[in-house]
A and B are shown apart, each in its own frame.
Chain A
Amino acid sequence: MSLLKTENVVMQFGGVVAVNDLNIDIKKGELAALIGPNGAGKTTAFNVITGVYAPTKGKVLFSPVDSVGVTNEIDITARKPNKITNLGIARTFQNIRLFKELTVMENVLVATHQNVDFNFLSATLRLPKAIRGELKAKQDCELLLDRMGLIDLKDEKASSLPYGQQRHLEIARALATDPQLLLLDEPAAGMNPQETDELTDLILKLKTDFGLTIFMIEHHMDLVMEISDHIYVLDFGCTIAKGTPDQIQNDPKVIEAYLGVDADVED
């Protein structure tokens, strides 16, 4: 069953076509990857899915399971980013976008704000409902930080964390929105091989533990080939190939357009 589908999505900026006729179909529970050379339109695709950009043409369809267990296909094209997050899509950013002046704990807590069931007055006056809500959010976030190995740093400012941990915090923050689909934009960027290995294990573990579907942009080919179920290859905004890692590795078009040229550059 598909969780996320894009139908003929086109994204144009002035005369530049950043994404051309993108058709993606991500099945529930799988780990899909989006690869392609720099400037191929990968991040733009993410921005269209998460509502940062309204596509010039095409549709984005999302089929989350709602609170009573019913799955409905929803057209999320050009909805506001926060509404899309509310429905169950969370993301990280290529160039880390943490709330720098806030603590680690606060960063994660912000992601639970969308679920508050009390208004600002009860929050300010600390009415019982608000106290319960805040306490629960705090407990959930502590558990999450614990799993991500960040619990000891919870009162540090986010900007004071080392680079790798900032990436982990971004993932933790995205998870705190309680997503069904997690979009990771180059999670291993700037990491050394050992850190990349750890990240690989972490992603797989999160996927099983949280029952997540993951869609990821990544340049580290080892990582992509090792853990992806499906791969989409983008070049100049067009999908030039899709399939399993084996199929992609043997696709002459990919080898020619991407792997062949770029193989020596990568790693």
Chain B
Amino acid sequence: MENIQHRFGAYIKIHWKTIVFLGVVLITIGLLDQFVDSYIRRLLNLCAIYTIISLGMNLVNGFTGQFSLGQAGFMAVGAYTVAIFTVPIEARATIFYLAPMTPLLANIQLPFIVALLLGGLVSAGFAFLIGGPCLRLRGDYLAIATLGFSEIIRIVFTNTQTITNGALGIKSIPTITSLWWTYGIAIIIIVLMILLINSSYGRAFKSIREDEIAAEAMGVGLFKTKMTSFMIGAFFTGIGGGLFAALLGTVDPKQFYFTLTYNFLLIIVLGGLGSISGTVIASFVVTLGQEWLRFLDEPMAFGLDLPIFRPGLRMVVFSALLMVVVLFYRKGLMGTNELTWDFIGKKIKVIKSKFNRKKSASQGGDNK
């Protein structure tokens, strides 16, 4: 008993800054949840969801070094699972007016959290099926196969009228409005990621990214390890997709066009392939930035009728940004580093010493 108390005390002593920080974050979420309007609320919810999905992608692409482009597909799987299992039974007849829902599913309704977890699991199941043929090969066919998967799943969902309501999509999904759902789950997933990455499994992931041949020579089973990472990534993405469905209240195949994946690619490249904190920061920067850049699509952006401002410009800027980052800032914001207290301390020291050097240099100049 005493031992436990002692250990707990020691834990607090080491991590007090983190605990304070977490407290501040929770209070901020609580305050925001009370006071923001629905537009900001939706945007903040989206930031948290994009964080979750980008973490799933970074686990595979950044930490394990496998190039997967299936985020939109895995999201769709999670989103549709939540949609199908949470839409109120009495509303189903009106939604599925072209063809009634298959009797197998028509009368099943699950609590949101169960449907959400199920969405993650189904998504991981799909990852297992794609990973089987693709992860065995050295090479980059995974990128094509996952991109293909996200297109096929869209085609499938458009054609399975009695399950997904085809191109019409599913409306009237019970929505979540509180920030606690998305942020609660985002925080849980961030913590799980940190724990996973700093475990023996996380090191095995990173060893594959660094050097597959050496990793294999050290006894790391490549296929099994890659598959584990790929499935966990898909699980997180499926959860993110489920939250996405519950945020918007409606899903249809067009939402999950594969270009959606490029959003997340930009996020993880900007944040740093292989950095959890970088991913979190970049998720907010990109999501909010995209919203802020909306004026680019407005013809009357500055009160003048400038011909360059018209729909589409925002996406051009956005994709050019991806190019700029990968060509000139290949490591992104964080590289493979994490924003730990040590890291911040070191950065501050570097800045201070630079500042001091400048100061002494300018003083030296004065003396001459």
Contact = CB atoms under 8 A, between A and B. Distances in A.
* Complex: A in contact with B (CB within 8 Å): yes
Interface of A: 50, 52, 80-82, 85-86, 90-91, 93, 97-102, 106, 109-114, 116, 120, 123-126, 130, 133-134, 137, 173-174, 176-177
Contacts of A125: 195
18 contacts: A50-B217, A81-B213, A82-B217, A82-B220, A85-B218, A100-B211, A106-B206, A110-B204, A110-B218, A111-B218, A111-B219, A113-B218, A114-B218, A116-B201, A124-B192, A130-B199, A176-B218, A177-B218
Given A99-B210, A120-B228, A125-B195, A113 B217 contact: no
B213 A52 contact: yes
Contacts of A134: 199-200
Given A85-B218, A85-B219, A137 B200 contact: yes
Instruction: From B196, B206, B219, B228, name the one whose CB has the most chain A CB atoms within 10 angstroms.
Output: B219
Contacts of A130: 199
Given A82-B218, A85-B217, A97-B213, 6 more contacts: A85-B216, A91-B217, A106-B206, A111-B218, A112-B200, A134-B199
Contacts of A176: 218
Mostly helix, strand, loop or mixed at chain B's interface? helix
B200 A133 contact: yes
Q: Size band of the B side of the interface?
A: 20 to 34
Given A106-B203, A113-B203, A134-B199, A101 B336 contact: yes
B195 A99 contact: no
Contacts of A111: 218-219
A81 B216 contact: yes
A101 B206 contact: yes
Nearest to B196: A124
Interface in B225-257: 228, 232
B153 interface: no
B203 A109 contact: yes
Contacts of A133: 200
Nearest to A157: B336
Contacts of A137: 200
A120 B232 contact: yes
A126 B274 CA distance: 22
Contacts of B200: 109, 112-113, 116, 123, 133-134, 137
A145 to B, nearest CB: 15
Contacts of B210: 98-102
Contact of B195 (A91, A109, A113, A124): A124
Contacts of A90: 217-218
A99 B206 contact: yes
Contacts of B213: 52, 81, 97
Contacts of A102: 203, 206-207, 210
A161 to B, nearest CB: 15
Interface string B174-215: 000000000000000000100110011101101101110111
A129 B315 CA distance: 49
A96 to B, nearest CB: 9
A80 B212 CA distance: 13
Contacts of A50: 217
B23 interface: no
B219 A86 contact: yes
B205 to A, nearest CB: 10
A168 to B, nearest CB: 16
Contact of B219 (A82, A93, A100): A82
Contacts of A120: 196, 199, 201, 228, 232
